[in-house]
Amino acid sequence: MSIEQLAEIAQAMVAPGKGIIAIDESTGTIKKRFDSVGVECTEENRRAYREMLLTTPNLSQHISGAILFDETLRQSTRDGVPFAKVMMDNGIIPGIKVDKGTHALAGFPGEVVTEGLDGLRARLEEYYKLGARFAKWRAVINIGDDIPSGTCIEANSHALARYAALCQEQGLVPMVEPEVIMDGSHDIDTCYDVTEVTLRSLFGSLYEHNVMLEGTILKASMVLPGSTCSDKASIEEVAAETLRCLKSTVPATLPGIVFLSGGQSDADATAHLNAMNLAGPNPWPLSFSYGRAMQSAALQIWSKDIAGNIGPAQAMVFERARANGLAALGEWKG
């Protein structure tokens, strides 16, 4: 696939007023979500839940793509239609999570590196044949006493760049996600510093690996104080600091940036995105790639009657998509 075709897909992923729904939870993670609402984590229940999400009427008005887990990309609706076909027929681009999760970084207590590069070329080739047109790889950067180390940031940036180069080789748009974790007591200034260093390292590695930025999407964490920090930040401060950090690190040639919700409340994730777009114009489209902030309310509704509450749950999915779609335009009124 040419860079022009990759660029077209990347631009479609951040089309005005549209974002990405992340439903790529691993089996272990979705089990925790199901356990919290009393739903048994069987393959059929996982399939039914994801069908409810992906077949929400008019979802493509505000959703451009969805990140799937390996199991989900291989599944079909109750009527036997592959999810990837359902999505493409409805104007939603199929994406796939391809990393193998985080593992302890040897020699650096409290730090992790994402694995999954072994065999990735063959997996990407198969995912393309199954219908995926973009992929996602998540790195995790923890903030704590004397961490993150430069070694941790460099190791994760290198892995993200190798992954991104392999994606483009196989015709998939890479979504690179260096998540600076919100957990901790650090203040917003510390988060800014760590995010800035991480993004500088990432884009340096992408350049060194000949990754074409025109066919790449950044999934970014916002600049936030730690979850247990006593000094809270306003919506406007978070938006201003996040924009300042991005403008100092992210090349303008990137087609767009989507944000992760990262443990924020549904309302805060939407409000922060809206405030950043109100402060525009910005060098790139700013949109969303939310998981919990798109799903949690709908999961609560669906879990109460997984056969009978599909309609009400889908109405909630659409409402969350609509709110975040408006926020991606700076038009959300709260």
In whole angstroms, give the CA distance from residue 191 to residue 195: 6
In whole angstroms, give the CA distance from residue 193 to residue 332: 29
- pLDDT over 90 (residue 334): no
Whether omega before 148 lies within 30 degrees of 0, making that bond cis, reads yes
Mean pLDDT confidence for 296-303: 96
Instruction: Supply the pLDDT for residue 2.
Output: 87
* 110 close to 103: Cβ distance less than 8 angstroms: no
Mean pLDDT confidence for 141-168: 98
- pLDDT over 80 (residue 316): yes
Residue 130 falls inside a structural domain: yes
**Residue keyed to tokens 């392999």:** 166
- Phi, psi (rounded to 5 degrees) for 55: -100, 15
Confidence of residue 262 (pLDDT cuts 50, 70, 90): confident
Residue 165 falls inside a structural domain: yes
Mean pLDDT confidence for 323-329: 98
Confidence of residue 292 (pLDDT cuts 50, 70, 90): confident
Mean pLDDT confidence for 11-39: 97
- Contact residues for 175 (Cβ-Cβ < 8 A; gap 6+): 20, 67, 95, 134, 135, 136, 137, 216, 217, 218, 219, 258, 289
Whether omega before 281 lies within 30 degrees of 0, making that bond cis, reads yes
End-to-end CA distance of the chain: 41
In whole angstroms, give the CA distance from residue 226 to residue 186: 5
Residue 332 falls inside a structural domain: no
Residue 333 falls inside a structural domain: no
Instruction: Supply the pLDDT for residue 36.
Output: 96
Query: Domain holding 281: CATH number?
Result: 3.20.20.70
- At residue 141, the 3 state secondary structure works out as strand
Residue 334 falls inside a structural domain: no
Confidence of residue 120 (pLDDT cuts 50, 70, 90): very high
Query: Which amino acid is it at 283?
Result: P
Instruction: Supply the pLDDT for residue 1.
Output: 72
- pLDDT tens across 166-178, in order? 999 999 999 999 9
Confidence of residue 199 (pLDDT cuts 50, 70, 90): very high
Confidence of residue 3 (pLDDT cuts 50, 70, 90): confident
Give the helix/strand (H/E) hosting 287.
Answer: strand 286-290
Q: Which residues are marked as active site?
A: 177, 219
**Range with the lowest mean pLDDT among 8-12, 175-179, 182-186, 290-294?**
290-294
In whole angstroms, give the CA distance from residue 65 to residue 282: 22
**Full DSSP string of 89-122:** HTT-EEEEE----EEE-TTSTT-EEE---TTHHH
- What percentage of the chain carries pLDDT values higher than 70? 100
Confidence of residue 162 (pLDDT cuts 50, 70, 90): very high
56-78 core/surface letters (b: 16 or more CB in 10 A; e: else)? beebbebbbbbbbbbebbebebe
Of 217, 226, 50, 240, residue with least CA distance to 136: 217
Q: Which domain holds residue 323?
A: 3-327
- What percentage of the chain carries pLDDT values higher than 90? 97
What total number of domains does the chain contain?
1
